[in-house]
Chain A
Amino acid sequence: MILEDLSERVARELGERGLLGAAADGRVSDAPDARTVRYYTTLGLLDRPRIEGRQARYAERHLLQLLAIKALQAFDLPLAEIQQRLYGRSDAELKALVESLAAEARTTSAARVPSLRLREVAVEPGVRLVVEESWRPRDPAALEARIRAALAALGGER
């Protein structure tokens, strides 16, 4: 998968495991971007991607590595400690870590309100756009088509 897909999957799987925004300020709720991914690579926390054509390709192991980093960050661990804990880990270990952190997050925050953050903007009087904070623009054309369809469903384009 390419970086965008990887980012999206990380965000989704973190969300599914209740690891999004587990920290008080909700700061890990963002999917990793290209620079962050590159930085993790220089630390040896993330394997180098495979280069295909001119594009970096990521696989399941990259996903696990990022999930583990993000999961530990959700518990406020500094990066030095994250490197110490994750360095040289196998897929199975990473997976076990992520699942156990997810369990930890569930048991210790059962009462917690999910911390989905939304942003809202008034497009024109009577129309407001609501965006989840973790949302990142991807395909503008497809987005436009979906918005048109949504408006049509609402009977918007009268």
Chain B
Amino acid sequence: MTLAIPMVDIPSGVTRVLGSLRAKEQPLPLESVQLRARVIDRVAEVTVEQKFGNPFREAIEAVYVFPLAGGSAVSRFEMQIGKRVVRGRIEERSEARRQYAQALDQGKRAALLEQERDDVFTMQVGNVTPGDAVVIRLTYSERLPFFEDGRTELRLPLVVAPRYVGGEELPREQAGHGVVSDTATVPDASRITPPRLVPGFDAKVSLGVEVELFGGFSDLDCSQHAVSTSSGPESARVMLSREREPLDRDFVLRWRIAGEEVKSQLFAHGGFALLSVVPPARQGFLGVARDVVFVLDRSGSMQGPKMASAARACASLLRTLGPRDRFSLQAFDEIVEWMPGGFQQADEGAIERGEKWLRSVEARGGTELDLAMREALQQLHSRGESAGRAPVVVLLTDGQVGDESSVLKRLQAELGDARVFTVGIDTAVNDGFLRRLAALGGGTSTFVEPGARLEEALQSVGREIGTPLVTDLHIDGEVTELAPARIPDLFAGRAAAAFFRLGGRRVKITGRFADGRQFDQELEAREAPLAAIDHLWARARIVDLEDQFRASRSEAVKKEIVALSIRHTVLTRFTAFVVVDDEVVNQGGTRRTVVQPVEMPADWDLQQVRGALKHMASNSAGATTLQRGAMGRIRAAIAYGYAGKPTSASVTGQLTEKLIGRQSPEKAATAAEREKVRQALEAFLRSFVAARDGSGGASELEQARVDLLRALGDSLAIATAVPLLQAFLRAAAVELVAAVAAGAADAALYARHSRLLEAARDQARAVLGDAGAPAGSFWEASI
């Protein structure tokens, strides 16, 4: 059969149909992003300007999921229309959301800025009318990390990378506009997964970066961008050399502070102080022997140069171990694989075996970091001959996961005496998470870009792993409201920082060297023009409180965070910035919502995945002819959420279910049965909390337990789908009721049971089709 091949004038036909687009021919609202940073006295103040337009014929709401530096304290938010500037205010998050929605319904221009993670934010700009140019400006400040040789770095992230999202999808209204559904383990997945641009689609977002450095500097190095530098009398200016740079990688600027001796400093401004302690040069003490577990991320997102770099980084860190140290090696994706042999003495033979093993590691599946960390900590805690040896975890990863909160929570509960160090490897790394992980783990975080100069960047890490120079730091003087409440230990060559309110001008810092000697330094405050110091102090304090909240879910802590946030104007997960313009520009408030698609991070090796998927997109029969390697990569892409969920395992499960015609359990349960179980579950949760807080007794708890078991008994379909809850009710809860009745229930017991019950509750809620967290407060789970 021969086919006549028609000549079709597609472009004209298509353009005619899409006449609702105006001249720009680009359906994307974001027109430009401009970043201006000023660096004074080891603190950066950054202004981010986002310009939104509207290429459509009716009003739109633009949604943009974007990153800021992980340590940023966002303190200012404004909207500019023409020459008019409207200043935003900070409100409790649900109130800000309400005001924003109301303004949109009234036809007013409004903008909302919410924080999803330490480094992920959502901007919504509503009632942008055709032809509008709405400029949003936000300002944040950040304390820069600092080393004794004067090195420091400024990181300006430009794209939120795809993050791995595991867990069952939640059958409820989604929390955000992203492309991955909310799941039981990442209840706000839809808020951190912006759509991606197809390669070849130029989003035409104009990018400008300008950094002004005050004070002398040397060895300026911008690892991922071409820049030009010009020097003024007091400062130097660094700018992008090229005009059309895609927003697909972090802007990373490193330099060395020159002109003054690098030493501890105490900066004061407006009643607040920033202390930066630099440890003295190391004096011959070798430190204790170390037992190091290296945890290497081999998930699909690590594919390409990143995987090779991570393995190389791991090998080079292995080489820094001394003969007294021991190590073991682990690589993980959805499963954890160990180098055979457990802990090994770090002699030449073992290190060579380790290097060989590392060369065999290839990137593939999902990123079950929580699982990997659990095994690593177990490995450390259960090792033999541990006396006098420092337990250490070194994690090498891009940090691209959505369930940061679970990992942090586990670390808080199971860290013990171990220390955790993170090495972030990516062109667009999840720095907020990796910093916090290391801070909670009493270690340090280091970031490297895949490729050249890796070994150089990691030299200092090798020295500091596991062996702080000075611990138990304490400040004497008129010092109050210290943040963080515990000053981080001092590692060789790296400054530690803390913020506080300072009464006088002098402080004395004391601590203990690793060999037991006393460490002390006296410092005199120097007035510095740090306008942002109170925001930074508040942010540091809030980080402490967030750690508390993660462990306790305490309402009181939440209130304190909100109060601090509003009093010191600094954005948190519990608050949001909102700005409303009074002019009514869209009577009736009807609009379309357009989510800005973002670039795939640079060097993410997904060409083949995309190719394969594209191939299937045009010809699904082609799937059968795909090479096995390509299938593996697709599986990887699906697993970490690039091509969406669920993982191949659950896909298989669902297929099996369909093939053998088995109904999933909840389908057989009626709505009434579900409601009954749900109510009994909530009643039980309440009685548990009441017992824990001392306001409820054993009999109430027992009654609630029996009621819940009865409700489950009425619906076999639900009961079989919630094994964790069943187990809890039949074992742990019985023990708990007995302990409460005997007056023997202590905090440790409740803490242990809380963890079990939370897991059981989350499973049950997912099955019952509940939100997990109520839809109005998904952010609580993100901390």
Chain A interfacial positions (CB closer than 8 Å to B): 22, 24, 26-28, 30-36, 38-44, 48-49, 51-56, 72-73, 75-85, 87-90, 93, 96-97, 100-101, 104-105, 108-109, 111-113, 115, 133
Contacts and interface: CB of A to CB of B under 8 A. Distances in A.
B283 interface: no
Contact of B196 (A42, A53, A54, A56): A42
A93 B174 CA distance: 25
Contacts of B190: 48
Given A31-B620, A36-B620, A88-B56, 12 more contacts: A26-B3, A39-B616, A44-B196, A55-B654, A80-B200, A81-B200, A87-B597, A89-B18, A93-B17, A100-B17, A105-B8, A109-B4
B13 A48 contact: no
Contacts of B14: 72, 75, 77, 85, 97, 101
B439 to A, nearest CB: 32
Nearest to B174: A48
Q: Specify which of B170, B190, B654 lies most central, judged by the most chain A CB atoms within 10 Å of its CB.
A: B654
Interface stretch (B422-430, B570-578, B637-645, B692-700): B637-645
A83 B200 CA distance: 10
Counting from the closest, the 3 A-B pairs by CB-CB distance are: A44-B195, A80-B200, A38-B644
Contact of B171 (A41, A53, A75, A108): A53
A87 to B, nearest CB: 4
A101 B3 contact: no
B644 A88 contact: no
B339 interface: no
A97 B17 contact: yes
B594 A88 contact: yes
Given A35-B613, A44-B195, A97-B17, A76 B10 contact: yes
A34 B617 contact: no
B617 A39 contact: yes
B156 to A, nearest CB: 25
Interface stretch (B20-28, B519-527, B558-566, B729-737): B20-28
A42 B8 CA distance: 30
Contacts of B623: 33, 35
A52 B26 CA distance: 35
B620 A42 contact: no
B201 A83 contact: yes
Given A27-B618, A90-B592, A43 B196 contact: yes
B72 to A, nearest CB: 27
Contacts, number: 167
Give the contact-size bracket for chain B: 35 or more
Contact of B644 (A42, A105, A113): A42
A87 B24 CA distance: 14
Q: Specify which of A36, A56, A73 lies most central, judged by the most chain B CB atoms within 10 Å of its CB.
A: A36
B201 to A, nearest CB: 4
Contacts of A38: 638, 643-645
A72 B199 CA distance: 17
B174 A97 contact: no
B4 A96 contact: no
Given A75-B8, A84-B26, A27 B619 contact: yes
Nearest to B618: A27
20 contacts: A36-B616, A38-B644, A38-B645, A42-B162, A44-B196, A48-B174, A51-B170, A53-B171, A53-B667, A55-B664, A77-B10, A79-B617, A81-B201, A88-B27, A89-B27, A90-B592, A93-B20, A112-B3, A112-B6, A113-B2
A93 B16 CA distance: 11
A32 B592 contact: no
Contact of A108 (B3, B8, B179): B8
A111 B7 CA distance: 12
Contacts of B20: 93
Given A30-B621, A41-B644, A108-B6, A101 B13 contact: yes
B202 to A, nearest CB: 9
Contacts of A77: 10, 14
A79 B610 CA distance: 11
B23 to A, nearest CB: 14
Contacts of B26: 84
Contacts of A78: 200
Contacts of B170: 51
Nearest to A4: B658
Contacts of B13: 100-101, 104
